[in-house]
Structure 1
Amino acid sequence: MSLIEIIILALIQGITEFLPISSSAHLILPSALLGWKNQGLAFDVAVHLGSLLAVVIYFRRDIASMLVAWTGSLISGQQTDNSRLAWWVIMATIPAVIAGFLAKGLIETYARSALVIAITTLVFGLLLWYADVKAKQNKHIYQLSWKSALFVGLAQALAIVPGTSRSGITMTAGLMAGLDRQSAARFSFLLSIPTILGAGLLVTLDLLEAQTRVDWSAMFYGVVFSFFSAYICISLFLTWIGRLGMLPFVIYRLVLGLVLLGFVLL
């Protein structure tokens, strides 16, 4: 890849990983629409690492509090808001892990197409709009129940289909479970940590098995640009989401979905 392609793809990953518009869809689009070569497994590892570092550093205090409380709950058996939240993140991650192992091959073979991306972009964009408009949105993140956390986790499992958007579907489920926008976004971001880590490890294993040559400069730029774009994106999204709501992202998804559909059909 050229340096321009590396920077653009890294920025796409960093920005779209945490917005409800599907990072996997946007990373597939350059090769589908512009004829760019596949970025390869090593670059996937790099941009996932950059995104992971961004969300971990941004939520470092929350993560530390959750880890301390979770460890304490194992010793004392007493639960706090932070220990429960840590348990809910663990519980909500399990469905995605199971779905990833069971359906990864099928998705890679049959679902990574512009038509699938167009349909899922439209359908789940409309579902996000419905949840944003109709849901009660009266619960804080610490009021999340285990049933609601599992519901969000089951929704996240759908994100293995390109175009669904992991962030989009988990925020949609969070809103439908009654969380306010800030809480739905925060739970989605916290839930991304084990999910991105797991996906990155799987891609790393694939890379080691493939025994391909690694372009270390591309890896470096991928980590750096995805990190900074992801960190800025998380900060701005949490600042604006209470005022803007999900409508701008819904409109973007509908426009993108229709453009893709027109590209495929015409």
Structure 2
Amino acid sequence: MPLRIDDTFRDALASQTGETGRPLAGMWICSGSPLVAELCAGSGLDWLLVDAEHSPNGLESILAQLQAIHGYPVHTLVRPPVNDTVLIKQYLDLGVQNLLLPMVNSAAEAEAAVAATRYPPQGVRGVGSALARAARWNRVPDYLARAGETISVTVQIESAAAVTVVENILAVDGVDAIFVGPSDLAASMGLLGQQEHPEVRAAVEHCLAAAKAAGIPAGVNAFNPDTARHYLDQGAKFILVGADVALLARGSEALAAQYVQAEKHAGGDTTASY
């Protein structure tokens, strides 16, 4: 039987969302641990985001996590540390099918991201399918011709500059979705650490409305349950609502608070967003 390629996150958004559909809920995987990634893969969430921008993840650990998650009914996105053509090539060859690209601030940067995922003449991706897990070492029929079908591109809107041109970014052919990051967005607006500030929320809502008008799914990061529900009501089609490391940190703190003298564990910052 010919080997198949799994459905992409683009396909999941198309089939499970819409005006009456259910938004997709996911969580960050930041520990770098294949065991933790597999544990979260069986949670019942719709999607996971393996992060390499702010987490201790290199090519080898990303590969191990992809292998650990594979086979579970969950979609996996991977975020590189930078929107870089060479790094994207390496991620794709590892078998990453769904990319979340950080700090995309213009249509030109979005175009470069898409081009990095396409073989010539449509793009600039280097050809190495015989060496790559992506093509199962040339065991996937017609991989070179079909590779574009197997990849979804989500670009991250996380600066005031990106918000002002979000309509142009949404118009880039090959951008399958946008994802708004309120933390960096707040910082770029001079509101560091104030993800709930009315001006930040208004900027997020502007992006959600622009995406809806363009017919492109939009997602958002929101650990605070009330904020998450608000953005879902505003039209977010997918959302990140937690992180493996945050769950472990808060859970271990709760155990300490229950069983250890409170004065030995004075609370630090336990904000609901990263």
Q: Which has the larger radius of gyration?
A: 2
Indicate the structure whose relative CO is greater, using CA pairs within 8 Å and at least 6 residues apart.
1
Larger helix percent? 1
Larger strand percent? 2
Give the structure-1-normalised TM-score. Answer: 0.28
